[in-house]
Every structure is written in structure tokens, then in C-alpha cells.
Chain A
Amino acid sequence: MNLFNRENYKEIKEIFGRTYDDYINKIYRFVFLKTGIKEVAEDLSSETFLKFFNALKKGTKIENQQAFLYQIARNLIADYYKAKGRTAVVSADLSPIVDPKNLEEKSMVNSDLSLLKAGLVRLKEDEQSIIVWRHLEELSIPEIAKLVDKSESATRVMLHRAMNSLKEALNNRHKEA
């Protein structure tokens, strides 16, 4: 059923605008950390919100907007790698990640973060996601459990394993270097 008409447009606009403002940075960051390419992150993030908009338009009942958006983004990222036959490998020498004030700090911070990011992209998709959600976006364990559709205790175990994998990935990079 298409519920997109003049009467309910105001409501859709409000929900969409609010959700967009709340989640655009998070979704962009999530996609960027998994693809490492600005243009792809922009494209997939806007596609995520387009699908969200279309869902609102169709009158889909969305109980958890956060879970809905992350799930769309994850599917789009999976499609992106599938369609392009690419593997999720991002080099450490990416363009600067953050923009600290002084040059020395900038160089040090970007170097650290690039290494950390290169470590992250070596993990499995669900490990990357769970680390980003917990330690970047600071979601609670119950919130993450809903996103991964697992019990809270299973989510804790997943997170613990993901952090161990990240440590191992950072260690392996050191050995390779």
C-alpha cells in the first residue's frame, strides 16, 4: 500500500528529517569504516536513507529506526562487495581521517587511526560492526543484541572475541611491517 499522499507527507517529512539528522553521521561513519572510500560512503549512505524514505512512504511499520538503518546499510555494503567482486581490504595509507589542530599531532593521530582502521577492516563483517557500535557509537549491549539478533550474553561473547581479533590484527600488521 502506498501511503505517500499530501496528507501524510508532513508526518513522513518530520520522521525522515529527525531520523536523518540523528543518524546521518553514524551511518556515513559505519559505511566509511567498511569501505574506506568517501564517494562510496556517500553513495551508500544516501541509498540507505532513500530506502528508509521509501519504507516510510509505503507505510512500513519501523519499530527500531536505528536497527532498520544499520541493517539496510549492512545489506548495501554486502551488495557493494558482491557486485564488484571486491574484498574488504582498505590500505593503511588512506587520506587523513580526522583533522587535529597542529601538524605534528595531525600526523601522529592520523597515522594511529589509519593503522587502527586497517586493523578493523581485516576483521569479519559482524566483528567490525559490533566494535563500531560498542566503542564508537557507544551503544549499550542490549541495543547491540537487538541489532545482531542475539542474546545479551552471546553479544558480550561476540564483542570479546571481536576485540581479541582486533588486537591480533594489529599485532599481525606489526609483524608484517
Chain B
Amino acid sequence: MSHNLYMANLTEKEIINKLKELKGIRPSTEWVLNTRAGFLPARNALHGNAGGYEKPKFSFLELFSFRRVLSASLVLVLIAVSTVLVSDNSLPGDSLYAVKKMKEKFQASMLASGDEKTNFQLKLVDDRLNDLNKITDQNKTRSLAVGIEEVKTTKAEVKKDILNSIQGKGKKEAVKLAKKFAPVLKEIDAKQTEAYASLGIEPKEENSGLEAQYKTIVESEIKYLKTCTLSEESSSALKSAIDYYESGDYLSALISLPKDGN
């Protein structure tokens, strides 16, 4: 009897017994321990409390066992800290990469939302692009798909974050924020295009809404600046911005916009 037929003829009780066998699905012990270590020692490091060790209440007779426990704890802390540090060099697809990501997520969670967090996330996109370049350099073809996915996901997250911060602000503040992040986003786009070009692919991204937001801001700024008296230099910058706008490059348009408008 084929497996398919056998499975199709199972009774409910037999299916339930088979389902119980799925309990064999478990994460690797290494991942479980590394992830756990990624949470707890990181906090200790933040407060300069090496090892997070808390002085226990013990009697003189317990001194020997206490020393052993202390030594074991220190060894465990050292292993955990080393794992987290070593994971910094891991690439997508490596076993320690999950620890590196965990550490990054933890660091992000410790930052208050706002510019500081967005800058951190922009740095992560840059790191993911560097990871992808390393994967290419080291010819780790099996990790390529994961590396590309990581770039895509991290970039989508930061774009969403920037969009949220811009949308929540008044017009003046929104323009200021959009201008602030535009050069970094443009730099990331260029780096991504270069990294993808070496792989023979083109960056394809889902519409995050940020592009539309930038378009609206540029449109509004151009409209306003056209009503202003501009210096020769500013007029030239505005013309350049309009050219970029018409070609659909809203980031470059925003960067090119003149500062003055009297």
C-alpha cells in the first residue's frame, strides 16, 4: 500500500497518534541556548554589571560549592558573551546569524522610537548589504537567497518606519525629516543596485508608500519655491530638482531642492 493511500485510510485515532509524533520537531539546542543568552547577558552588559551576578546569602560551609557555582556561572557568561560577540561576523545562513539578529533586535528595542532608532535601522540595512557583498565574495551561493531576503526585509522595515515618522508630523517637520533621511536612503539604493548588479539582478521592491510620500513632499516644495524669489544658484538647484522630479527620482529631487525661499 502506498504511503498516500495508507495515510488517507487512517482513522481519527491513528491520525492523532501520528500527530503526537510531530513532537519530534524541536529547535537545535545550540539555537535555544544562544537565543536565551542573547536576551539575558545583553541587559547585564548595558548596566556594566558583568555577568549580572548577584551576591548570594551563604554560610562559610557553603563557600566551596559557592565558588564552584561562581566559576561555572562565569564560564557560562563568558561563553554566552563570546557567542554574541562572535556572531557579529556571521552571515545570513550561518548558525550564529540568528544570535546576531537577536542582538540587533534587542539593541533596537532599547532605543526610543525616533531619529535614533531610524538611524540604527538604516545602519542595519547597510550591514545587510555588506553581508550580501561578503556572501558574494565568499561564493556562498546557498546563502544568497537568504542574504537578498534579509536586505529586502530590513529595508522594507526602515522605509515603513520613516513613513510612519513623516506621516505623524506637521508639514514643516515632515519636510525636515524627509530631507534628513533622503541622502542615506539614496546611498543605500545606490549600494543595493551595485550589490545586485554584481549578481545580475535588479532590485524589486514592494511599494511601501514612502515613495508616494516623498513625491507629495517634493511636489509641494517645488510649488512653493516657484512662488519665491530665488538667487541664481537656488534657481539652478530648483531646475535640477524639477528635472529629477520629472524623471521619478524623488530622493535626488528632495536633496537638490534649494534651502532658501524668500
List residues of A whose CB falls within 8 A of some B CB. Answer: 6, 9-10, 13, 16-17, 20-21, 24-25, 28-29, 32-33, 39, 41-43, 45-47, 49-50, 53-54, 83, 85, 97-99, 109, 111-113, 115-117, 119, 131, 135-136, 163, 166-167, 170-171, 173-175, 177
List residues of B whose CB falls within 8 A of some A CB. Answer: 2-8, 10, 12, 15-16, 18-27, 31-32, 35-36, 38-40, 43, 47, 49, 52, 54, 93, 98, 101-102, 105-106, 109, 146, 153, 156, 206
Interchain nearest-CB distance for A138 vs B (Å): 8
Q: Is A136's CB under 8 angstroms from B24's CB? A: no
Q: Is A174's CB under 8 angstroms from B5's CB? A: yes
A contact residues around B47 at 8 Å (CB): 6, 9
A contact residues around B16 at 8 Å (CB): 135
Known: A50-B106, A163-B12, A177-B2. A20 touches B39 (CB 8 A): yes
B contact residues around A170 at 8 Å (CB): 7-8, 10, 15
Q: Which residue of A lies closest to B43 (CB)?
A: A9
- Residue from the set B5, B10, B22, B38 with the largest chain A CB neighbour count within 10 Å: B22
Measured in the bound complex, the distance between the Cα atoms of B6 and A127 in whole Å is 23
Q: Is B22's CB under 8 angstroms from A112's CB? A: no
Q: Is A113's CB under 8 angstroms from B21's CB? A: yes
Interchain nearest-CB distance for B120 vs A (Å): 15
Q: Looking at the complex, which one of B3, B26, B31 makes contact with A112 (CB distance below 8 Å)?
A: B3
Q: Is B102's CB under 8 angstroms from A50's CB? A: yes
- For chain B, what secondary structure do more than half of its interface residues adopt (helix, strand, loop), or is it mixed? helix
Q: Looking at the complex, which one of B109, B146, B156 makes contact with A50 (CB distance below 8 Å)?
A: B109
Measured in the bound complex, the distance between the Cα atoms of B26 and A25 in whole Å is 6
Q: Which residue of A lies closest to B99 (CB)?
A: A46
A contact residues around B54 at 8 Å (CB): 10
Q: Is B22's CB under 8 angstroms from A136's CB? A: yes
Q: Which residue of B lies closest to A114 (CB)?
A: B3
Q: Is B19's CB under 8 angstroms from A135's CB? A: yes
Q: Is A97's CB under 8 angstroms from B22's CB? A: yes
- For chain A, what secondary structure do more than half of its interface residues adopt (helix, strand, loop), or is it mixed? helix
B contact residues around A177 at 8 Å (CB): 2, 4
Measured in the bound complex, the distance between the Cα atoms of B52 and A110 in whole Å is 43
Q: Is B105's CB under 8 angstroms from A119's CB? A: no
Q: Is B22's CB under 8 angstroms from A116's CB? A: yes
Q: Which residue of B lies closest to A32 (CB)?
A: B25
Q: Is A28's CB under 8 angstroms from B26's CB? A: yes
Known: A17-B36, A47-B105, A174-B5. A135 touches B20 (CB 8 A): yes
- Residue from the set B7, B26, B40, B206 with the largest chain A CB neighbour count within 10 Å: B7
Interchain nearest-CB distance for B156 vs A (Å): 7
Measured in the bound complex, the distance between the Cα atoms of B27 and A112 in whole Å is 20
Known: A13-B40, A112-B18, A135-B16. A46 touches B24 (CB 8 A): no
Q: Looking at the complex, which one of A17, A47, A54, A116 makes contact with B40 (CB distance below 8 Å)?
A: A17
Q: Looking at the complex, which one of B5, B15, B52 makes contact with A116 (CB distance below 8 Å)?
A: B15
Q: Which residue of B lies closest to A99 (CB)?
A: B24
Q: Which residue of A lies closest to B18 (CB)?
A: A116
Interchain nearest-CB distance for A95 vs B (Å): 11
Known: A16-B39, A177-B4. A116 touches B19 (CB 8 A): yes
Interchain nearest-CB distance for B34 vs A (Å): 10
Cβ contacts A to B, 16 pairs, < 8 Å: A16-B39, A16-B40, A24-B32, A29-B22, A39-B93, A42-B31, A42-B35, A46-B102, A49-B35, A53-B39, A54-B109, A113-B22, A116-B18, A117-B22, A136-B19, A166-B15
